[in-house]
Chain A
Amino acid sequence: MLALKLAYRNLMGAKLRTWLNMIVLSFAFLVIIWNKGILNGWDQEARRDTIEWEIGGGQYWHENYDPYDAFTIEESHGKISDATQNAITQGDLTPILISQATIYPEGRIQTVSLRGIDPEQKLLLMPTVNLESDMEEIPAMIGHRSARNYKLNIGDFVTVRWRDINGTFDAKEIQIVHIFKTNVSTLDNGVVWIPIDRLQDMMQMENEATILVTSQESGSIGSINGYEFKDHYFLLTEIREMIEMKSVGGSIMFIILMSLSMLAIFDTQVLSIFRRQKEIGTHIALGMTQRQVVALFTIEGAMHSILAAILAAVYGAPLLYIQAVNGWKMPSGTDDFGMTIAEIIYPAYSVGLVVGTTLLVLITTTIVSYIPSRRISKMKPTDAIRGKIQ
């Protein structure tokens, strides 16, 4: 306690240097907390959106289904059994049939993923209710990114051409009845949604599906013949890896700022041990042991981090708070990168994040302060008192 008090007095006496060190260090604090907060917020939102819009409580994939291999799409479908049909009726599952097709918006050719979904499903946030229609043309909905890319508006007709199960080409008009907005770009980019029964008709895949989405409440409902269950860990891999990759950028920034401030603190320590020899000798003459003086100087250096944390809290907390409330507006166009990302990310700061960062900075600063201070224990008190050591 005494060392803390004395260290505080010494530190506050060296005004300019202390402030400079503290300001750099407090930036390091804020950068890491802010960056991690944004990524946490993004991660949480992306997971929530993906679960609510796309994967529910997990998905059963047809055993041949591989989203990265377009050539297997034609074999990735299977009959919906009676038991599965029961689960669908009970609201535990909803089937999705996936196939490939070509559309011709304004005379251009675009390959799209044509997906059939139950217009009455309530399991996902997909606004499928818009597909309920008994019109002659096939009602279709697309996401706003696709709408922009294909220059399609509500009410537009577009020709779709596909190959049915027998390999025969066929073509029909679809009409865009709805354009939805989602943060989950995989439901949007290059995807056209139509009622599942119409797609089954077109493909001659009566009562078949590619994936079966479970509800968040039910999750896996046991094994289904010909299908494999994919859990959240598997289905959210991409988000997890992306967030991990993005953390690297923030960490590099943090490491640079930390190195700068550690260098400054190290320098301050070396300088003050050199310049304050007389003080060191005086402390010893007044009855401190060399080890106590080492501790005093170490604490003095380490205290930079405590004061920096306080400083960061003073000017940073309001900034972080405002950001947490108002969110961080992503630059327009970010959502075209194929990532699941909201237009506004609300950073999520956790106690663990703040405490962890503080501890990390505190420990690093203590080590950096201790290393030069060790020299004190090798000083001869009689020389130190006269300030003679070179």
Chain B
Amino acid sequence: MNNHALITTDNLIKKFPVGKGWFTALNKINLTINEGEFCGLVGPSGSGKTTLLNIIGSLDIPTEGDAHVLGQSISGLTIKKAAALRNHHLGFIFQTYNLLPVYTVYENVELPLLLLKMSANERKKAVLQSLEWVGLLDKIKSRPAQLSGGECQRVSIARAMVKQPKLVLADEPTANLDAKNSHNILKTMEKLNSELKTTFLFATHDEKVIQYLQRKISLDDGRVVSDESTSSH
């Protein structure tokens, strides 16, 4: 395994205001995730997985401590810099797919590239490539409402992968899928991880996902309670 650190967290604390006090959702998290890993934050609901994933995705900021992603300090990012980091280097996959309903499959996948101001030719090549990875070339003109859940999540993977980001963050990607579709998309992501060396970080409590992970970082009550790598894969 290559030991080039992609993500590090440093005594990361996240508190949310609740009523008159504060709720500590993440408590002194110290983690290092290297390039090319296929790993996941696992743990029961409410353990802080999403909160951590959001901070790593520069969608939120730590209360104390810090996280570094691709060498950039999350707490030190301006709004613009954070947007640029997401735009260039991060891909997101959400539990509810979050596809734009009025866009076609093609347009949904193309959107990140439009934001990157890529030329039309390059865009087309990349979008078709990405849709080929997830096996949806025949649904280019469909709109999300015409697709099954599994297909929607595949579009969302294509959208996350289309710019070939360094890191893909997937929050409960299988929560709305049946077993067959869950395995299907995990196999796809596993393949992309090994072929393109894209780092994947999941947040999940789904056993079907966990069995694919090469590294399981268990959270409970905002703390890392175990961190195990499996060499079986």
Query: Which A residues have a C-beta under 8 Å from some C-beta of B?
Result: 2, 5-6, 9-10, 12-14, 278-279, 281-282, 284-292, 380-382, 385-387
Contact = CB atoms under 8 A, between A and B. Distances in A.
A2 B79 contact: no
A287 B107 contact: no
B83 A289 contact: yes
Interface in B70-121: 79-80, 83-84, 86-88, 90, 92, 94, 96, 98-103, 107, 111-112, 114-117
Contacts of B96: 278, 386-387
B100 A279 contact: yes
A6 B114 contact: yes
Contact of B86 (A5, A287, A290, A292): A287
B83 A288 contact: yes
B92 A382 contact: no
A12 to B, nearest CB: 7
Given A286-B86, A288-B83, A9 B98 contact: no
A282 B87 CA distance: 12
A281 B50 CA distance: 15
B60 interface: yes
Given A279-B98, A279-B101, A386-B96, 17 more contacts: A6-B111, A6-B114, A13-B101, A281-B98, A282-B94, A284-B86, A286-B86, A286-B115, A287-B86, A288-B83, A288-B87, A288-B115, A289-B79, A290-B79, A380-B60, A385-B94, A385-B98
A386 B50 CA distance: 11
Contacts of B115: 2, 286-288
B9 to A, nearest CB: 17
B60 A12 contact: no
Contact of A13 (B54, B80, B94, B102): B102
Nearest to B102: A13
A287 B59 contact: no
15 contacts: A2-B117, A12-B102, A279-B100, A282-B99, A284-B83, A285-B86, A285-B92, A286-B111, A286-B115, A287-B84, A287-B87, A288-B115, A290-B79, A382-B54, A385-B94
Contact of B80 (A12, A278, A289, A380): A289
B57 interface: yes
Given A9-B103, A284-B83, A290-B79, A385 B59 contact: yes
Contact of A5 (B50, B84, B102, B114): B114
Interface residues of B, number: 30
Interface of B: 50, 54, 57, 59-60, 79-80, 83-84, 86-88, 90, 92, 94, 96, 98-103, 107, 111-112, 114-117, 159
Nearest to A11: B102
A13 B92 CA distance: 24
Nearest to B81: A289
A2 B57 contact: no
Given A284-B59, A285-B57, A288-B115, A14 B83 contact: no
Contacts of B94: 282, 285, 385
Given A2-B115, A6-B114, A382 B60 contact: yes
Contact of B59 (A12, A291, A382): A382
Given A288-B115, A381-B59, A282 B100 contact: yes
Given A10-B102, A385-B59, A287 B112 contact: yes
A381 B87 contact: no
Nearest to B169: A285
Nearest to B59: A381
Nearest to B57: A285
B168 to A, nearest CB: 12
A6 B100 CA distance: 11
A12 B114 CA distance: 18
A6 to B, nearest CB: 7
A231 B87 CA distance: 69
A339 to B, nearest CB: 53
A56 B168 CA distance: 82
A288 B160 CA distance: 15
Contacts of B80: 289
Nearest to B114: A2
Contacts of A284: 59, 83, 86
A285 B102 contact: no
Contacts of B99: 282
Nearest to B98: A282
Contacts of A279: 98, 100-101
Contacts of A282: 92, 94, 98-100
A288 B103 CA distance: 17
Contact of B102 (A14, A292, A382, A386): A14
A290 B83 CA distance: 9
A289 B94 CA distance: 19
